Amino acid sequence: MKKQLLIFIQYLSVEKGLAQNTLESYERDLTQYIAFIEKSGITAFNDTKKSNIQSYLLQLKKLGRASSTVTRNMVSIRSFYQFMVRERLLDLDPSLNMETPRLDKRLPKVLSIQEVEALLEAPETTTPHGMRDKAMLELLYATGMRVSELISLNAGHVNLGMGFVRCIGKGSKERIIPLGRIAAKWLHEYIQRMRPKLLKELKADDALFINHLGTRLTRQGFWKIIKKHGREAKILKEITPHTLRHSFATHLLDNGADLRAVQEMLGHADISTTQIYTHVSKTRMKEVYNRTHPRAKI
């Protein structure tokens, strides 16, 4: 069964051109699903039934997986079976007519402007790593880009003179994002003074942000960095790699930014994805009203 999985992943890579992170997500979901049905004694996909898929999704729920995780697994399994039937590697699709689990709509957690400022001030900019961290955090908050996009940046993707960064997003789609004056200043400092020190002997490496090995920073590396500076800034809220992205969008809308412009900067294919931030803004507005209006608590 792993052979068919390999064929499917290759199809997603070559024919669909999906990003590496997406490919890894599909492979991880389906590897876990295959392990589950193999424990049931199934050795071929033609032997799987709808009940096998339902049992697997039920197990994910029992393990406390988020509804978004269960839904993503369902999408991965359904896409795989559809591909197998289309390629005549499978007779029947057992996922046919199965309902996708309903997602719980959770509002993204955002930082206040004061918390963002504390986070951005946390790195010690007299060291190469501290200057790198400062430049990364300023860039994330200035552009709202995804962490995967941030660590994929090359030095040539940043145009400090024109004040923009060229970003390669999901589905290898390119977008140009404006770069604020403060972020540009710290990027200039990092690129000119500290990046050469981090590169060490690897002078030909194009990566913009470098780790202690002198090579491109990883997602796991960035996760540790933002957690560390969150603690230093004494921020009690949970901070994830997407926290500054969520805060970027919410603060723009709070200050009157056009929803379409925010959609473009975030790289959302569908504006409905961006609209969740309008709900966050309304929630924050209500909190402010209840806290400050003289008659709100009467």
Which residues are designated catalytic?
Answer: 146, 170, 242, 245, 268, 277
CB-based contacts of 221: which residues, under 8 Å, 6+ apart? Answer: 151, 211
CA distance 90 to 81: 8
Q: What is the DSSP letter of 141?
A: H
**Exposure pattern of 95-127 as b/e (b: 16+ CB <10 Å)?**
beebeebeeeeeebebbeeebbebbbebbebee
How many alpha carbons fall within 13 Å on the CB side of residue 3? 4
Helices 113-121 + 128-143 axis angle, to 10: 160
- Which sign, positive or negative, has the C-alpha torsion 215, 221, 222, 226? negative
Say which residue the tokens 């509804």 belong to.
Answer: 67
